[in-house]
Amino acid sequence: MESGDRTKYKLADSIKELMKMNPLDKISIKDIVENCGLTRQTFYRHFQDKYALVNWYFEILVHDSFEEMKEKKNLRDALIKKFHFIKSERYFFKAAFQSKDFNSLLEYDYQYILHFYTGVIEKKTQKPLDEEIRFLLEMYCRGSISMTSNWTIQEMKETPEEMAQLLVEALPVKLQELLVEFV
């Protein structure tokens, strides 16, 4: 691992530790760097703000998860994998999803899953999304992120399997044929 990556992971570990005790919006850059023994200058060399750090760490975490989701043959199994993954990093996701900043994880995750599902549909249909399917997909992704956020913040009362089933059942009919089975 390169030095820059080690620094980024050190900052990510620091913010994760702080997020166990404080809401993300209450954590300062000063808190992050003091917690890990780095300087503000070092922080800003790598990230624009704390939300960029959270989004970078989210992308690192979910990259492998989404790659594994692609290997699944159906949406339910892929979502189960995603919810187990979120559960394994629950403190990070709980604090990150509580932030309502314009640069928050909610928006980043929305863009990420919208891109993922768009790719699945376009690969399956061999054509770009039409306006109606794009609208339904955007609506579904917004709702899916909202419910995932609520699940995470409210202590994950449903199992990952139950959450996956609920999200599959919430698919609009016209998306079911495009997303329930990935192949």
Task: Give the pLDDT confidence score for residue 103 in this predicted structure.
Answer: 67
Domain-located, residue 88: yes
CATH number at residue 126: 1.10.357.10
> Residue 183 pLDDT more than 60?
no
Domain-located, residue 168: yes
Domain-located, residue 107: yes
Q: How many CB atoms lie within 10 A of CB 155?
A: 8
Q: How much is the average pLDDT of 111-119?
A: 90
Task: Give the pLDDT confidence score for residue 89 in this predicted structure.
Answer: 84
Global pTM reads 0.79
Task: Give the pLDDT confidence score for residue 95 in this predicted structure.
Answer: 85
Domain-located, residue 133: yes
Domain-located, residue 121: yes
Dihedral (CA of 15, 17, 19, 22) sign:
negative
Asked whether 3 and 46 are in contact (CB, 8 A), the reply is no
Number of domains, the chain: 1
Query: 63-102 b/e with 16+ CB inside 10 Å = b?
Result: eebbeebeebeebbbbbbbbbebbeebeebbbbbbbbeee
Domain-located, residue 33: no
pLDDT in tens, 39-85: 999 999 999 999 999 989 888 877 766 666 666 678 888 888 889 98
- By residue range, what is the domain housing residue 153? 55-179
Domain-located, residue 23: no
Domain-located, residue 79: yes
